[in-house]
Amino acid sequence: MRLVLGSINIKGVEFAPDTKLENGLLLINKDQLVTHLKQDNRIESIDIYIARPGESIRILPVKDVIEPRVKVEGSGNIFPGFIGKVDMVGNGRTHVLKGAAVVTTGKIMGFQEGIIDMIGPGAEYTPFSHTFNIVLKIEPSIGLSQHEHENIIRIAGLKAAAYLGETARKLIPDEEEVFECNNFIQGLEKFPALPKIAYIYMLQAQGLLHDTYVYGVDAKGILPTFMSPTEIMDGAIISGNCVSACDKNTTYVHQNNPVIQELYKRHGHDYHFVGIIITNENVTLADKERSSGFTAKLAKMLGIDAAIITKEGFGNPDADLTMNCRKLEQKGIKTVLITDEYAGRDGCSQSLADTTPEATAVVTAGNANETILLPKLTTVIGHIDAADSIAGGFSGSLRPDGSIEVEIQAITGATSEVGFTKLSVQSY
């Protein structure tokens, strides 16, 4: 499969009479976009805001972040299974509004939502303080279930991203990148001497608003599956999660997964990047055993030498992570794990809920229990009172002066377990 990603660099976003993209400036007719999204009669109200880097704006509670894109050539549509037909993606040409993001917010549906600050100390922890954010504040009708509520906001975010992506359909990109994924036999012939590497991509699928979608299918109903990296880069995986904001893989993160991008950079030079095995994070022991067993079996059948494993969330998913690690290592496949830690506010508690002797190469994305004081900002988009109930917050997090004391797990993307984060290691 061969995918060309053409990026149009976004230099600004403004409301205007017509929705279009001119010289890097994204212009949006707010009324037209609201009308487009309110075709869902379960939506009570929609307000649209723009949050630019450096502005004194706080977005809370954040549900999802999505990168606007448009499928220009090749099969399928952007966000298959949700927008248009369910055709295979990962081939042809897709145009990207690089630097723009659709952010969804509204009344909280699950306690594990997040904060994006566009300025101040909180902005130093979220990668989305540097994007031009088109913020949808959506309030569904009263009386809907939490799952209906989540579905309404998720679909509205995807529709908005697809709507804005259309502005780039006929434009010439500022930059282009080409990504190819050979079939297995071609790869062996092309890179016979290179070690074979796969990426084990664990998807949150525990239910109770902890869901991820693959071509529109809830991942908790799948068995581990082999996929081309270009499919994931082209919108095949969508977030439906209300997990802790710090390590939530938003849809934007799936579209721009750093592990996939880094593996491609060294593909054909240091190793042969064979592809991706997606697997789900489960609740019961039997389901964990089944999925990890299938993952190890697929990896062995592919003949890979090593694998990178990432997860989403903490606690229960730690067992899936260590189980995948152990079974691959026992089959002679070397593993590297990427995870964040919940080591207590003093950093002295056990970092993970589970471990295994085979986990000898582990990369940390940071301790999500660290606390931070976020000063009052001029504008809040969403509902400020959610600060006391989101994961990482507590009763009294929202102070009388408008500042917020929280753990960094409340900040969207703070300790991303695929490395889509601003934290890094500093040596002394």
pLDDT tens digits, residue range 125-151? Answer: 999 999 999 999 999 998 898 889 999
pLDDT given for residue 142 in this prediction? 87
Q: Please give the Cα distance from 202 to 252 (Å, whole number).
A: 16
Question: Is it the case that residue 124 has pLDDT exceeding 60?
Answer: yes
Is 245 among the domain residues?
A: yes
Is 389 among the domain residues?
A: yes
For residue 35, the Cα-to-chain-centroid distance in whole angstroms is 27
pLDDT given for residue 109 in this prediction? 74
Q: What percent of the chain has pLDDT over 90?
A: 87
pLDDT given for residue 423 in this prediction? 83
pLDDT given for residue 208 in this prediction? 81
Average pLDDT over residues 301-328: 96
pLDDT given for residue 428 in this prediction? 54
Average pLDDT over residues 93-116: 92
274/353: higher pLDDT: 274
Is 420 among the domain residues?
A: no
State which residues form the domain around 147: 2-410
Is 426 among the domain residues?
A: no
> pLDDT grade, residue 84 (50/70/90)?
confident
pLDDT given for residue 425 in this prediction? 67
Q: What percent of the chain has pLDDT over 70?
A: 99
Q: What is the pLDDT of residues 330-382, one digit of tens each?
A: 999 999 999 999 999 999 898 988 999 999 999 999 999 999 999 999 999 99
Phi first, then psi: what are they for 300, rounded to 5°? -70, -40
Average pLDDT over residues 7-23: 97
Q: What is the pLDDT of residues 213-248, one digit of tens each?
A: 999 999 999 999 999 999 999 999 999 988 899 999
Is 58 among the domain residues?
A: yes
pLDDT given for residue 426 in this prediction? 65
Is 388 among the domain residues?
A: yes
pLDDT given for residue 409 in this prediction? 95
Average pLDDT over residues 47-59: 98
Reference 205, options 277, 151, 281, 150; nearest CA is: 281
Average pLDDT over residues 102-116: 88
Catalytic residue check, 348: no
> pLDDT grade, residue 76 (50/70/90)?
confident
> pLDDT grade, residue 68 (50/70/90)?
very high
State the total domains in the chain. Answer: 1
Is 416 among the domain residues?
A: no
Q: What is the pLDDT of residues 162-172, one digit of tens each?
A: 999 999 999 99
Is 423 among the domain residues?
A: no
Name the active-site residue from 242, 246, 325, 348: 242
Q: Please give the Cα distance from 249 to 361 (Å, whole number).
A: 22
> pLDDT grade, residue 184 (50/70/90)?
confident
Q: Please give the Cα distance from 97 to 113 (Å, whole number).
A: 25
Mean pLDDT of the chain: 94
> pLDDT grade, residue 80 (50/70/90)?
very high
Q: Which residues contact 368 (CB under 8 A, 6 or more apart)?
A: 244, 246, 247, 314, 340, 341, 342, 392, 407, 408, 409, 414, 415
